[in-house]
Structure 1
């Protein structure tokens, strides 16, 4: 196993980075569709409405707070991937928001298409970054810590977390609509479908890179 993974941090990070880029684009499309956002994004947008800064900045600030709480509960520091995830996703969210063509469609058909595309892109982005196996984000770190502390099942912990976050975000004026309910109910199963596909692609990509040096040797007439 060690031989297989040697020298593959670079390729894994490339997949990880691509996944975060894709996921962040999906997040922005869902927010801009104006049909309701995920509970955490309802909170980020609500904070943006009330206190300024940017949605990406609040994603990072909330992520820092979540990591602190997670560290206090678990009594251990989160892995480096959680910090990297937090910072990059916040930066990518703001980067996409600055693009001139990123705007809310005027008609319902356009909004539905943007919302649907955002959900699909978000799920496959999550599948890609998870398939790189370089660490979870801050929200998942907190979920794991709470699951270990309370003894509750993961689904129950996640549901309680998201309900509380949604209530706070809604009180701050975040975008709650039927799309929020759809995301809350369907994002888990959709990511469950996307992840195995992304994992298979990532494994094939990494396997092809492992074989490349041997192919080069054969081309030069050198036995592997």
Structure 2
């Protein structure tokens, strides 16, 4: 759906609430992974690495990176939806808020639990905001745009992007450890598991309804 079609698809109040709630949980999940200090998701490695060199918070850097990624949509002729814009701005705000109240866990077992909980919560949060059907996140849009332009498989494009992002982030001082690998392995299946449970069912377009009635 185009951005306008997304807004006109129906059940908008419910979808807006779900979108914001999903982005809030996403920010909280990132804070859990950061506090665990056992490695974070690929784009988080980049954001964390940048924080070592610029006087900005993790959330502020996350927002700045999202804006840069959105600018890369322009030559790819991608159009951001409302959810895309909210994703770019709100996750950074929510992660900073969560970091301000979430203490760092002490002891390896507690850190492992924090990491695992953060990854599972991230999968649920991703499914919730994707299920609102108000546009992809900036990074997902970059991936789909490159797939459309290059004709390469989704897995190859996504892997290439995340490898480059992780390498740059690691060289800048970001955490690259077991949590990064665990996230990469688990996040796809987690989102796939949760998405059917939380996706908003939208009314069928008139022409699709007419086709079903005539069949």
Same fold (TM over 0.5): yes
Give the drift of 1:7. 5.9
CA contact (8 A) 2:19 2:83 kept: no
| TM-score under structure 1 length normalisation | 0.83
CA contact (8 A) 2:15 2:132 kept: yes
Task: State how far apart, in whole Å, the 1-side matches of 2:132 and 2:66 are.
Answer: 21
Q: Residue 74 of structure 2 aligns with which residue?
A: 71
Unpaired runs of 5+ in structure 1? 208-224
Partner residue of 1:85 out of 70, 73, 87: 87
Q: Residue 120 of structure 2 aligns with which residue?
A: 120
Task: State how far apart, in whole Å, the 2-side matches of 1:198 and 1:11 are.
Answer: 12
Task: State how far apart, in whole Å, the 1-side matches of 2:180 and 2:65 are.
Answer: 19
| TM-score under structure 2 length normalisation | 0.86
Q: Residue 43 of structure 1 aligns with which residue?
A: 46
The C-alpha deviation readout for 1:108-142, integer Å capped at 9, x for no partner, is 11001111111111111111111111111100110
Task: State how far apart, in whole Å, the 1-side matches of 2:86 and 2:25 are.
Answer: 15
Give the drift of 1:76. 4.4
Aligned runs of 1:148-187 on 2, under 5 Å?
148-187=148-187
The C-alpha deviation readout for 1:48-100, integer Å capped at 9, x for no partner, is 1121201111111111111111212x23443332122100111111111111x
CA contact (8 A) 1:71 1:78 kept: no
The aligned length equals 197
CA contact (8 A) 2:26 2:125 kept: yes
Q: Which runs of 4+ in 1 moved over 4 A?
A: none
Give the drift of 1:103. 2.1
Q: Residue 220 of structure 1 aligns with which residue?
A: none
Task: State how far apart, in whole Å, the 2-side matches of 1:158 and 1:171 are.
Answer: 20
